Structure 1
Amino acid sequence: MEESSIYSDIPENHSFILNQLQEKLLSFGLERKLDVKIINDIKNINMIEDPLTICSREFPNLNLEKLMNIKNMKEQGFLIISMNSTLLIKAECLQGLFYATQTLIQALNSHQNKLIIDQFIIIDYPLLQIRGISDDISRGQAPTIQNLKKFVQVLSHFKINQYYLVYMQDMFQFKNHDEIGKGRGAYSKEEIKELVEFASERFVEIIPIFQIIGHWENILHNEKYWKYGEFPASNSLNLANDEIYDLLNEMIAELSEVFTSKYFHMAADESWDVGKGASKNYISNIGKGEAYIRHYKKVYAIAKKHGYEKIIIYHDILYKYEEVLKHLPKDMIVMYWNYNLKDKHPIIDTIRKYKFPVLVCPSIWDYNRIFPTITNFEKNISNLVTFGYSKGIEGVVTSSWGDYKNKELRENRIFGFIYSAEASWNPKNPINLLNFWQGAFFHLFGNEHNEILGIFNKIRIFQDKKKLLVKPTFYYNHFFSHPYNKNTKKYKKNIKSSQFDKLIKELDTMIQICEDSGRNLQENQLLIQSLIFILKHMRFYCIKRINSKKLVKFSAKRSKSKYKSIIIEEIKNIRDELKNLLEEYEQLWMRMAKPNGFNSIKQQYLWLMQFYEEKIQDLKKSLDWKDSNIPSESIYAKETRSKSPNTNFFKQNVKIEEEIQSAYIQVIGGTFCEVYINESFIGNVITRHTLNYVVLENNIQLFDIKADLQRGDNTIILKNTDYIGGMGMVNLYGEIKFNSGEIYQIKTDKSWVASKDRSQGWKKVKSFGKPPKLTGGLNYPDFEKGLHSKENSNVASFNTIFSRTPSKLRWLVILLIKIFNRYDILE
């Protein structure tokens, strides 16, 4: 091949296409770059036959003229002919030429020599114009620009052509809003420009998903922005406030300076809080559908004003309102998202009936789980793409989500994204899973692909057969739960660990295979190391559950010292293994993401290490089990009927007769809770169930109240306003440490009283009991270090579930919680 030359008519400003090909050839062993000769017309080269003439001769029954005039063929298709030591590539557009070089690279890579190519003719083009992915960069794990560029590089090789960043309204450094995205790795204009330029050389458009109404919690949590929302930390903007359009206009204008694609995604999904607060009267007067269409059209006009030609919107709100479907601009592209496994989606028919272009959006099923659920993402992607194609969709944008602080290593998203690329290139033909994964792993891992694919398939079996004995979305809650949370027979029965000893041995073997294969890899070392990490993570999970089950009802006082020593050594090993796991996790995180967001997850590991250390010390002292949960109860005021917003006052008196050394309280609210000590405002707590980072990070608040207490009688009042129609539970735990060394606990329980209006009578509160009832486990906070109780992702779930349950069925929700409590299900 060294004697070969490249004849090309590629314009000089697009020479990067050939440069990338040349770099790949060098990596395959070519000693030097091939000479490139620029020509105006291939016909001027002697002894080279026109590619179309060759195709006509080889495929006499093919209507070549019709084929070459297909829109996607002209814009993204290509023709490759390998014959008689000559390789011909023809494409009408540069994007098609780029895809031809990617196919050529795959053909060369598949050959043992890698610089030898067989004879063939390939005529190929995508059946769908848009083949994209959406990458959640906003929920805690913000990838570095280098990592994003690597994703673009890999996915462009598999012919992905759109890359959406979710959500840019709070992950961009806006000029006049420096607190938006602060401390979370928000991207600068320079970073986005660098990414856009890199992606453009791979024919990938970088497109912002910018929420225009819902998912604004991260911004609206900040008091400076409360006026724009329905209520503090609302999910939704206040549609009755025209000032929101000045803000949206300013933000979209800044984005348009760096996001230069003609596409703009205005999202508008899951706007749960519209009409629940500041806009309640406005919505009541004109109707929710009318309010939505007015808003959508205003923001549509703003985006158009700033140069965006194609505006995308999610389907899940708009399709419910006929006035929206009728009056939404018909050039808006509706993105239908659905992550179920069904093969029919009638809502697409409804949207198509109103003549909207449609994109479909499946998922790689990676949200809130240790590893993407393989079989489910295959079915979700294939079924939705196939059905969508039959209905004339424009394309596919497959999503990844980082719910609950995005603990998952983002590197593992690659597998699902590559599968989506295959499904969206040719949705007519069902994917042969065996052949596809063989090919994909070969191009990712080279000669080691069979061994690593075997591991991947083992993980699939673990998932399909539920070998970890836990629902994937509950995995992290169990992983980080206190290992000795309860001491009951029911709890012991609920800890599932059957066959875990056998599973640990399987995982040990899998880890060894991956480590051996990784030593020989030339590329994608980070991907194999991420695989190894999740295997170790699952292994630790099994060890943890076995140990937890073993120590339920274990008595240090009654056990022989020799057996107790064995148990102590076992826990030490578990603690040390967890420490190693955390160190490995941190190293991997820092290689793919910005440091922002890591410490919050790291603290979960540190709490778990502390729980093991505390158990070791208790066993050494022959102390039996003690309750790790705070004693404060989740209390609420009984209502004859629920309405929104709903305000209740909760009160407790505290008498102090000694000098105070320190005094702290920890408060969990029921949407929005204001804290008063002796009539002085101390602060507020916003507690909501959400998928978004800032609210999750601040659901529990600590307050230093030493300066607000006095000798004698003290009054604590919690003013809780539930804006969402829930029960508005509150939970307060505090410690007053006196100079004498005595510690007095303040805790919500049935001794507290509640009132709708402080001028009216105070009544006894109702209680759901102390953790883990209702909230899940809440260990004692470390007030001195400023660390609140370790909570799980469902700490505020009940209030949201209750608020969205029809009034007639709310008794059933309460009953289910009581059953969970009775059978020790919650950890």
Structure 2
Amino acid sequence: MFIYLENLVKTDETMEDIFLIPYPRYVKMNHSNKIKISENSKLYTDLTAEFHYIIEQLQDSLLSSNLKDKLEVVRVPNNEKSPEIKSFLDENIKFFPGTLYNEVTAKKNYQDQGYLMISDDLKIIIEAKSVQGVFYGVQTFIQLLNSSQDKLSINNIKILDFPALQIRGVSDDISRGQAPKIENLKKFIKNLSHFKINQYYLVYMQDMFKFKSYPNIGKDRGAYSKEEIKELIDYAKRCFVEIIPIFQTIGHWDNILHNPDFWKYGEFPGSNSLNIAHEEIYDVLDKMIGELREVFTSEFFHIGADESFDVGKVASKQYIEEEGLGNAYLTHYKKIYNIVKKHGYQKVIIYHDILYKFREILENLPKDMIVMYWKYNNKTSHPIVDKIRNFNFQLIVSPSIMDFNRIFPSIEKYEQNIVNLFKYGFNSGAIGGVTSSWGDYRNKEIRENRIYGYIFSAMVSWDPIKEINRLKFWKGLFIHLFGLNDHRLIEIFSKFRLIQDKNSLHTRPSGYYNHFFAHPFNKKSSKYKKNIKIKGFKNIISDMDNVIEKCEELEEIAPKNKISIQNLAFVAKHIKFYCRKRVNSRNFADYYIKKGRGNRKDRLLEEIPNLKEELKNLLVEYEYLWLNCSKKEGFNSIKQKYLWLLRFYDDKLDEIKSKSKWKDPNIPSELIYLDSKRIHNIYSTFYKKLIQVDDDIDQAYLQVIAGCFAKIYINDEYIGHVITRRTLNFVGVNNNIRIYNIEEFIRKGENMIKIENIDYIGGIGPINIYGIIKLQSGDLVQIKTDKTWLGSSTNKNNWNNVKSFGKPPKATGGLNYPDFESNIPSNADDTMPFLNTLISRMSKKYFWFVKLIVKLFNRYDILE
């Protein structure tokens, strides 16, 4: 198959540097004048009408480069019937040394995806054994044109190219809050196919697909219909990209298992994992996979099966004890394998992190399963890969673009991760590399910024052992993505990279949002002030202003992808605000330490309206950028964090103007627990408190944070439940704190509030309860957990005083007063339940150490 151009024009221009991503395997350039496409050039091809869109892509590129008319296209049967084309091809093949051409063209990857391109003697040919190869040849041709000043001329060049890895993909997290619109996914696929990516994984499809059998799954989450997925797959086929679902079949089910209708299928309410001892789950999975098969037509299907932390904890405990954990996993994986195969999928992929620990799984899992090894570090050696390969499994390696829970991907880290893991995987016989992006904790980062890491992955996966000229890569990326060869883009990314590499924001990259959304006036101590590190922030603010200015200039001149430049400007504005917020917080702490002495009050008062205005503009722009690429679902939960921050500034203005004393912004309720005797066990703890009400009730609300799973009772009437646990997934994070209107349950006189807390993860079952009862008289009764509460392990007569970690921000981080009437819980860091998770995973004998750390964090005012 081929595309052949003749009647090009010789130019006076000499050879220019070329910027190709990925760089071809074999390249030979002639040191001669360039040749140029003109309106008199003619194009011959043997591509059938079905694939003429490939030629149209080339035509569109030429027209956008100021070619006045489309080239004349002549259809010829094949190159054997065109002596002139065949002669041109044969003569130029001789220039490849020795047997190179025959050796390369005999390789399967060449026959499936490779191409030959020759530019010489005022002619150009792209020849391949497959249409996909022709498509990739055209992409290289377009990049060669983009590399020239006039966009219409190229060097005399010979290229023989094919991928080292059969599979070169990306894994796109669509399930943790930011669900991309179909048009945005198409845009990603089109852009990435230009860099020869050939697989696109959608993560996770078990709760992001509109299942006819289970209509409540994915509801209000932006779940995709069959029609949307079919439209996407049809589009991707034209780009030679396979769309593959990652459908979790054991873990990461907490979004679904949060719903009481599905509790029976899980280890426990809100569990991460399915109950593999319950046969009905296989009917559920069978139906769901069957529905996916109606639209996902690839021969690949990814069953997930990573991080199934809760297996064997509750519902399947007896089964696991009888079968053994390894055998139980093996039985489950085989059942899933058979279901997937039954629905016509030929190639089943599974994550590595559970299965590699059990020899019985490695020995007995079907050998045609493909293991995906994921690792997000910069190590150059991966013994687990060797272990998996020793059991004769095909392997895909999966690094990350390091974007999870951070304002911008960590460039240096992802470059090292991708290069090192792809190289090790290739040398170990891996068939592919798939680079992941994750949206942990609501997916606050704008998804458009994933594209840079994905393109870097495309380059490395084409030829993993090739040394990389990173500066040339970035120049090429900017040329092909934005149509610009402009030093200002290099300067912008250098600024972002420098901030990351030097830790200039004084926080871990994944801790950025914790500080960004934290209450700006959480404390007023000298230790708190000392912990707000602002060294270098003045320079960063100046640098970000410079970046914003450059982005505005570049947006004016960029021929394409202007929205990505807007996203870069937004990142700079976000970082700028972060720095100004932290400086202001430190200045206010100093103001209170000095008890308001001096003339700083007026200046500080002026800063707050400016910060508010800046934050409002950030929110408006954030919403615009989000909705430009993603569905509306998921946005409001993040928007609320911005709105809380605005309210915090309003409250501080009111406080200072009214000359009120500093008020602790955190709720007064403490994180309480009964004891630490039953760590690593699944157990219930009962808490109670008697509340006296001496007047008629006007309003009454209760906010509850559970120690995993809590049932709430007032005067022996069941109110509801709360599930609170550390999770990366959206539904859990969004519901870790819940508010209940308890007005109808409260009566005049004595009221008993009782909490039954079940700690399914084996921690200490801590709870934090805050509530108010507004009386008709105007008085307020406050409900708060503290050491006056009683606790029991049996709910009988043996009630004891509880222990306490103290009130926020101790142990939980900051928890401001909730907006009860609007049903808006306290603003909390998304990692808030981490303490109980940590305790559940540590040796019981080290619990004293955890308590010490919490005390030290409090003593030195580290937590916000």
TM bucket, shorter chain: over 0.9
- After TM superposition, list the pairs within 5 Å mapping 1:39-188 onto structure 2: 39-50=76-87, 52-188=89-225
The question of whether the paired residues in 1 share the 8 Å contact of 2:213 and 2:287 is answered with no
Q: For 2:236, which of 196, 199, 204 is the aligned residue?
A: 199
Q: Give the 3-state SS of the residue equivalent to 1:383 in structure 2.
A: helix
- After TM superposition, list the pairs within 5 Å mapping 1:777-816 onto structure 2: 777-816=814-853
Report the residue type matching 2:270 in the other structure.
A
* Structure 2 portions without partners, runs of 5+: 1-37
Q: How far apart are residue 441 of structure 1 and its match?
A: 1.5
Report the residue type matching 2:328 in the other structure.
A
Report the residue type matching 1:585 in the other structure.
Y
- State the TM-score, normalized to the length of structure 1: 0.99
Q: How far apart are residue 655 of structure 1 and its match?
A: 1.1
Between the aligned partners of 1:39 and 1:354, the Cα distance in structure 2 is 50
Q: For 2:518, which of 467, 473, 481 is the aligned residue?
A: 481
The question of whether the paired residues in 2 share the 8 Å contact of 1:82 and 1:88 is answered with yes
What's 1:584 paired with? 621
1:288–1:715 distance in 2 versus 1, CA, 3 Å:
same
Q: How far apart are residue 171 of structure 1 and its match?
A: 0.3
Between the aligned partners of 1:389 and 1:808, the Cα distance in structure 2 is 44
Between the aligned partners of 2:227 and 2:703, the Cα distance in structure 1 is 41
Q: How far apart are residue 740 of structure 1 and its match?
A: 1.2
Q: Give the 3-state SS of the residue equivalent to 2:154 in structure 1.
A: coil
Q: For 2:586, which of 545, 549, 573 is the aligned residue?
A: 549
Q: How far apart are residue 99 of structure 1 and its match?
A: 0.2
What's 2:478 paired with? 441
- After TM superposition, list the pairs within 5 Å mapping 1:277-676 onto structure 2: 277-555=314-592, 559=596, 563-676=600-713
Q: How far apart are residue 151 of structure 1 and its match?
A: 0.2
Matched, 1:190 2:227: yes
Give the length in aligned residue pairs.
Answer: 827
1:562–1:553 distance in 2 versus 1, CA, 3 Å:
closer
Q: Give the 3-state SS of the residue equivalent to 2:505 in structure 1.
A: coil
Between the aligned partners of 2:516 and 2:64, the Cα distance in structure 1 is 42
Q: How far apart are residue 432 of structure 1 and its match?
A: 1.3
Q: How far apart are residue 4 of structure 1 and its match?
A: 1.8
The question of whether the paired residues in 2 share the 8 Å contact of 1:359 and 1:393 is answered with yes
The question of whether the paired residues in 2 share the 8 Å contact of 1:557 and 1:622 is answered with no
What's 1:229 paired with? 266
Report the residue type matching 1:713 in the other structure.
E
Q: Give the 3-state SS of the residue equivalent to 2:557 in structure 1.
A: coil
What's 2:13 paired with? none
1:33–1:716 distance in 2 versus 1, CA, 3 Å:
same
Report the residue type matching 2:821 in the other structure.
E
Report the residue type matching 1:661 in the other structure.
D
Between the aligned partners of 2:700 and 2:100, the Cα distance in structure 1 is 84
Matched, 1:14 2:57: no
Q: How far apart are residue 561 of structure 1 and its match?
A: 9.3
TM-superposition CA deviations, 1:69-90 (whole Å, max 9, x none):
0111111000011111111111
Between the aligned partners of 1:663 and 1:60, the Cα distance in structure 2 is 84
1:694–1:9 distance in 2 versus 1, CA, 3 Å:
same
Between the aligned partners of 1:736 and 1:214, the Cα distance in structure 2 is 41
Using the aligned pairs only, state the percent identity.
54
Between the aligned partners of 2:383 and 2:247, the Cα distance in structure 1 is 27
Between the aligned partners of 2:521 and 2:753, the Cα distance in structure 1 is 33
The question of whether the paired residues in 2 share the 8 Å contact of 1:557 and 1:624 is answered with no
The question of whether the paired residues in 2 share the 8 Å contact of 1:555 and 1:624 is answered with no
Q: How far apart are residue 563 of structure 1 and its match?
A: 3.9
TM-superposition CA deviations, 1:175-231 (whole Å, max 9, x none):
021111111100000000010000000000000000000000000000000000000
Report the residue type matching 1:255 in the other structure.
L
TM-superposition CA deviations, 1:18-42 (whole Å, max 9, x none):
1222222221222222222221122
1:798–1:60 distance in 2 versus 1, CA, 3 Å:
closer
1:556–1:637 distance in 2 versus 1, CA, 3 Å:
closer
Matched, 1:31 2:68: yes
Between the aligned partners of 2:134 and 2:428, the Cα distance in structure 1 is 29
Q: How far apart are residue 52 of structure 1 and its match?
A: 4.8
Report the residue type matching 2:208 in the other structure.
M
What's 2:306 paired with? 269
Q: Give the 3-state SS of the residue equivalent to 2:189 in structure 1.
A: helix
Between the aligned partners of 2:536 and 2:524, the Cα distance in structure 1 is 23
The question of whether the paired residues in 2 share the 8 Å contact of 1:554 and 1:624 is answered with no
Q: How far apart are residue 806 of structure 1 and its match?
A: 2.3
TM-superposition CA deviations, 1:631-676 (whole Å, max 9, x none):
0000001142324311010000011110111000100001100000
Between the aligned partners of 2:689 and 2:418, the Cα distance in structure 1 is 54
Matched, 1:720 2:762: no
Q: For 2:254, which of 217, 235, 256 is the aligned residue?
A: 217
Q: How far apart are residue 45 of structure 1 and its match?
A: 2.9
The question of whether the paired residues in 2 share the 8 Å contact of 1:735 and 1:746 is answered with yes
Q: Give the 3-state SS of the residue equivalent to 2:640 in structure 1.
A: helix
- State the TM-score, normalized to the length of structure 2: 0.94
Report the residue type matching 1:545 in the other structure.
R
> Please, which moves more after superposition, 576-585 or 500-509?
500-509
Report the residue type matching 2:50 in the other structure.
N
Report the residue type matching 1:105 in the other structure.
I
Q: How far apart are residue 559 of structure 1 and its match?
A: 4.1
Report the residue type matching 2:815 in the other structure.
L
* Structure 1 portions without partners, runs of 5+: none
Between the aligned partners of 1:272 and 1:432, the Cα distance in structure 2 is 41
Between the aligned partners of 1:682 and 1:363, the Cα distance in structure 2 is 43
Q: How far apart are residue 117 of structure 1 and its match?
A: 2.0
Q: How far apart are residue 491 of structure 1 and its match?
A: 0.6
Q: How far apart are residue 682 of structure 1 and its match?
A: 0.2
Q: For 1:758, which of 795, 798, 802 is the aligned residue?
A: 795
Between the aligned partners of 2:399 and 2:91, the Cα distance in structure 1 is 40
TM-superposition CA deviations, 1:304-340 (whole Å, max 9, x none):
0111000000000000011110110000000000001
> Please, which moves more after superposition, 504-513 or 676-685?
504-513
Q: How far apart are residue 46 of structure 1 and its match?
A: 4.9
The question of whether the paired residues in 1 share the 8 Å contact of 2:213 and 2:288 is answered with no
Report the residue type matching 1:261 in the other structure.
S
Q: For 2:725, which of 680, 688, 712 is the aligned residue?
A: 688
Two-structure CA RMSD over aligned residues (Å): 1.3
Q: How far apart are residue 56 of structure 1 and its match?
A: 3.6
Q: How far apart are residue 501 of structure 1 and its match?
A: 1.2
The question of whether the paired residues in 2 share the 8 Å contact of 1:556 and 1:622 is answered with no
> Please, which moves more after superposition, 34-43 or 275-284?
34-43
The question of whether the paired residues in 1 share the 8 Å contact of 2:678 and 2:762 is answered with no
1:760–1:560 distance in 2 versus 1, CA, 3 Å:
closer
The question of whether the paired residues in 2 share the 8 Å contact of 1:382 and 1:423 is answered with yes
Report the residue type matching 1:38 in the other structure.
R
